[in-house]
Amino acid sequence: MSASSPANIIIAYLGPPSSYTHQATVDSFRAPKYTLRDELSIRDVFDAVQSSSASFGVVPFENSSNGAVLHTLDLLIDREEAFPDIHICGEVFMDVQHCLLGYVSQSFSSDNKDLQSSGSSGSATPTSSIPFPKEPRSKPMTDLRHVKRIYSHPQAFGQCEAFLSTYLKGVERHEVSSTSKAATIVAEDRDKSGAEAAISSRLAADVHHLAVLAKGVQDVEDNTTRFLIIQRGPVCHDIQNLLPEKFQMTNGFRLKKKALIAFNIDHGTQGALANALLVFKKHSLNLTSINSRPSRIRPWHYIFLVEVEGEREFDDPDLLHLALQELDTVTEGNKWLGCWVDRFGVNAGQ
Ligand SMILES: O=C(O)C(=O)C[C@]1(C(=O)O)C=C[C@@H](O)C=C1
């Protein structure tokens, strides 16, 4: 059966199961209409969609406290031209509450009434570069002296700095492809000595039979990750009808829409970047973010990614066409990466 047959719409997502991407995907693409397939890396999700072995893919894009997922940006700008047909067709916002998962140590559990004996005062140590470190929001629920290695996705480490630098200072960190992969590794710790722990989700604790050693370990209470839905081909393509209704562009005439565009400019021309940005202003496309990634062609030369939002402009292809034509005249090259219905303020599942 082909990936886009109505009875079998395959959605590839960054796994293994119980990753945050999985949770965002389950909430948006419900069985039996959709079949979810986990992939080991964000690149594998792009590959699955580009090769049409999946109709859609779900990947993390940015976090409200730690910023862009660089790996996703790099795959979108596609320096190697491996993903020429990938377009964004939707977004999902999800609240992310991290936990520290592992094992409760038998040797330390008897004296865990006093958690300060975990070797920490509960305050982060000031250093010359960070004289006033952020206080962690939560305390461990058990002694952590047995933890020698922590596994997680780099984004999750970035979101939990205060807790880690207070209660697990100097403990080796291992970056892996997702938080659920981290939980899988810890669950495989054969002697259950508790030397390994993962920053992962509450769901991953249940799936992998791990103990929750601390809850809500991210630096900020309101910690939201935005995920992108990707498809093969431009958004006007028939494949849009296979998406859940809330993501379909035609569903919301006059709904706010967003788009992502990548471009490069002649860095030697004065005002080149400003001129490119002015095109969006002129065409009433409100710029909401700008990211840059090294071009890897010349040092200190960047590819820019801008996100724009608008209403009428997206419902009239001629208006967009005009804006892009004008962008052609002030950039050295640009790539339309898709447009989608704005879901800001709407949680996954709604
Ligand atoms: O590792 C996961 O569980 C993911 O889905 C990836 C990811 C990310 O890359 O941002 C998703 C949400 C959290 O912000 C941390 C990690």
Domain boundaries, the chain: 9-95+223-341, 99-215
**What is the rounded average pLDDT of the residues 264-291?**
93
Which residues have any ligand 1 atom within 6 Å of their CB?
14, 19-21, 60, 63, 69, 96, 153, 155-156, 178-180, 225
Amino acid at 286: N
120-129, 193-202, 222-231, 294-303: range with lowest mean pLDDT? 120-129
Q: Report how far ligand 1's centroid is from the alpha carbon of 131 (Å).
A: 29
Task: Specify the pLDDT at position 224.
Answer: 97
**What is the rounded average pLDDT of the residues 317-345?**
89
Q: Report how far ligand 1's centroid is from the alpha carbon of 120 (Å).
A: 28
Buried b (16+ CB within 10 A) or exposed e, 151-186: bbbebbbbbbbbbbbbbbeeeeeeebbbbbbbbbbb
Angstrom distance (rounded) from CA 85 to CA 247: 19
Angstrom distance (rounded) from CA 153 to CA 173: 10
Task: Specify the pLDDT at position 241.
Answer: 84
Q: Report how far ligand 1's centroid is from the alpha carbon of 144 (Å).
A: 24
First-residue to last-residue Cα distance in the chain: 30
What proportion of the chain, given as a percentage, has pLDDT over 70? 86
Angstrom distance (rounded) from CA 343 to CA 246: 9
Q: Report how far ligand 1's centroid is from the alpha carbon of 158 (Å).
A: 11
126-130, 182-186, 243-247: range with lowest mean pLDDT? 126-130
Angstrom distance (rounded) from CA 15 to CA 176: 12
Confidence of residue 330 (pLDDT cuts 50, 70, 90): very high
User: What number does the ligand 1 atom closest to the CA of 153 have?
Assistant: 1
pLDDT digits (tens, 9 = 90+) for 254-276: 678 899 999 999 988 899 999 99
The rounded mean pLDDT for the chain is 88
Angstrom distance (rounded) from CA 143 to CA 227: 34
Task: Specify the pLDDT at position 52.
Answer: 96
Of residues 81 and 235, which shows the higher confidence score?
81
User: What number does the ligand 1 atom closest to the CA of 227 have?
Assistant: 11
- The residue among 172, 168, 178 whose CA lies nearest residue 201 is 178
- Which residue has the CA at smallest separation from atom 12 of ligand 1? 20
Task: Specify the pLDDT at position 234.
Answer: 80
**What is the rounded average pLDDT of the residues 197-201?**
98
Pairing of strands 302-310, 286-294: antiparallel
The complex's ipTM works out to: 0.97
Amino acid at 29: F
Angstrom distance (rounded) from CA 21 to CA 28: 11
**What is the rounded average pLDDT of the residues 86-111?**
87
DSSP notation for 176-241: -S-HHHHHHHHHT-TT--S-EEEEE-HHHHHHHT-EEEEE--SSSSS-EEEEEEEEES-TTSGGGG
Residue 161 has pLDDT above 70, yes or no: yes
Residue 235 has pLDDT above 80, yes or no: no
User: What number does the ligand 1 atom closest to the CA of 71 have?
Assistant: 9
The neighbour count for residue 285, using CB atoms within 10 Å, is: 22
Q: Given this structure, which CATH class describes domain 9-95+223-341? A: alpha beta
Residue 207 has pLDDT above 50, yes or no: yes
Q: Report how far ligand 1's centroid is from the alpha carbon of 204 (Å).
A: 13
Q: Phi then psi for 110, rounded to 5 degrees?
A: -70, -30
Residues 6+ apart with CB under 8 A from 277: 287, 290, 306
What proportion of the chain, given as a percentage, has pLDDT over 90? 70
Domain 99-215 has CATH 3.40.190.10: yes
User: What number does the ligand 1 atom closest to the CA of 63 have?
Assistant: 14
pLDDT digits (tens, 9 = 90+) for 292-326: 999 999 899 999 999 999 876 677 777 778 889 99
Q: Report how far ligand 1's centroid is from the alpha carbon of 177 (Å).
A: 9
In the chain, the largest separation of any two C-alpha atoms, in whole Å, equals 71
- The residue among 346, 328, 345, 347 whose CA lies nearest residue 336 is 328
pLDDT digits (tens, 9 = 90+) for 101-140: 999 977 655 444 444 444 455 556 666 666 556 789 999 9
Amino acid at 309: E
- 4's tokens: 């886009």
Confidence of residue 350 (pLDDT cuts 50, 70, 90): confident
DSSP notation for 259-323: EEEEEE--TTSTTHHHHHHHHHHHTT-EEEEEEEEE-SSSTT-EEEEEEEEESHHHH-HHHHHHH
Identical fold at 9-95+223-341 and 99-215?
A: yes
Peptide bond into 299 cis (omega under 30): no
